[in-house]
């Protein structure tokens, strides 16, 4: 019997790719599944002229998509995990996390070493700006917003632009990459490269069955990494306007390692902390890293700058 799942998503090319990818994973484990796409326009999509943090942070790309599930227009919501706040709204939960893509950032237009002294780098991310300023204090910065194509079209206007690698891989745009920035240089954003699928958390039989179906496409190491990173974000109380990042990895024995980063907006101060633990404490590890940065490494003073 055919099972129809309505998937809410943003309308960008990347968002549609992500939803199609989730649909393909679901069909691979159950060929009777049919995914119907419900396109939702978000505040972040409508207002390209305003920095994300001035509109309320990460939720500007998620709230309307989540609302479509809560009000019954859709059964699931497909997100880039990096766009999600640290907690789901009441009635929703992350039901499945497929295998993570590459979490790293890249430079388009020039390598870091080849940038001229004082070169202008375009990025809408305080996290990226602070870490680049730490590595190259001579650089200057300007904001950058828009979809993938819009940002790439502006690359020639600057010394370089900074982007996430995963979308360029997914949209077959790797020819644009001048340099991949390793986590030692640029700690990624929480959830970068990861997809998160939300659905309702109720006890109705159809909701329970849907969660069981979604669980079949879960990639456990990616889930554990995301749990650790979101624990970091939740404890930090931060959002995308905060120069902070976290990157968790999981080995074959399910040992979780997470590095957290917190910086001043100007990049004059960058602090990092790493903790390692078991799978059962992934979220707690993330929270512990955040507390160590805030309480033991002087990070609390950075929040007021």
Supply the residues annotated as catalytic.
83
- CA 252/CA 275 separation, integer angstroms: 17
Contacts of 51 (CB under 8 A, 6+ apart): 124, 143, 145, 241
Q: From start to end of the chain, where are the E strands?
A: 3-9, 33-39, 76-80, 92-96, 105-108, 120-122, 140-142, 160-164, 177-181, 195-200, 244-250, 256-263, 270-277
- CA 268/CA 154 separation, integer angstroms: 28
SS3 25: helix
Cα 251 from chain centroid? Answer: 21
| Pairing verdict, β 105-108 and 177-181 | antiparallel
């Amino acid at each position: 019997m055919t099972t129809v799942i309505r998937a809410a998503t943003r309308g960008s090319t990347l968002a549609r790719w992500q939803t199609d990818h989730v649909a393909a994973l679901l069909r691979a484990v159950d060929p009777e599944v049919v995914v119907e796409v419900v396109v939702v326009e978000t505040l972040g999509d409508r207002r390209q002229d305003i920095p994300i943090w001035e509109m309320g942070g990460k939720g500007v790309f998620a709230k309307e998509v989540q609302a479509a599930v809560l009000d019954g227009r859709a059964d699931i919501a497909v997100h880039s995990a990096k766009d999600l706040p640290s907690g789901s709204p009441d009635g929703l939960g992350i039901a499945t996390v497929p295998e993570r893509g590459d979490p790293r950032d890249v430079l388009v237009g020039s390598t870091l070493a080849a940038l001229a002294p004082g070169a202008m780098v375009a990025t809408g991310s305080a996290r990226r700006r602070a870490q680049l300023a730490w590595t190259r204090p001579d650089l200057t910065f300007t904001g950058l917003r828009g979809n993938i194509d819009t940002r790439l079209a502006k690359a020639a206007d600057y010394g370089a632009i900074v982007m996430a690698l995963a979308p360029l891989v997914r949209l077959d745009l790797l020819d644009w990459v001048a340099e991949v920035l390793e986590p030692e240089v640029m700690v990624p954003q929480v959830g970068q490269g990861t997809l998160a699928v939300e659905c309702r958390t109720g006890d109705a039989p159809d909701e329970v069955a849907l969660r069981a179906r979604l669980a079949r496409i879960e990639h456990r190491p990616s889930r554990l990494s995301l749990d650790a990173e979101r624990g970091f974000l939740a404890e930090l109380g931060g959002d995308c306007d905060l120069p902070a990042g976290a990157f968790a990895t999981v080995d074959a024995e399910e040992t979780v390692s997470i590095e957290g980063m917190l910086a001043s907006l100007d990049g004059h101060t960058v602090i990092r902390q790493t903790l390692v633990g078991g799978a059962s404490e992934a979220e707690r590890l993330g929270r512990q890293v955040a507390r160590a940065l805030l309480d033991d490494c002087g990070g609390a003073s950075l929040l007021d700058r």
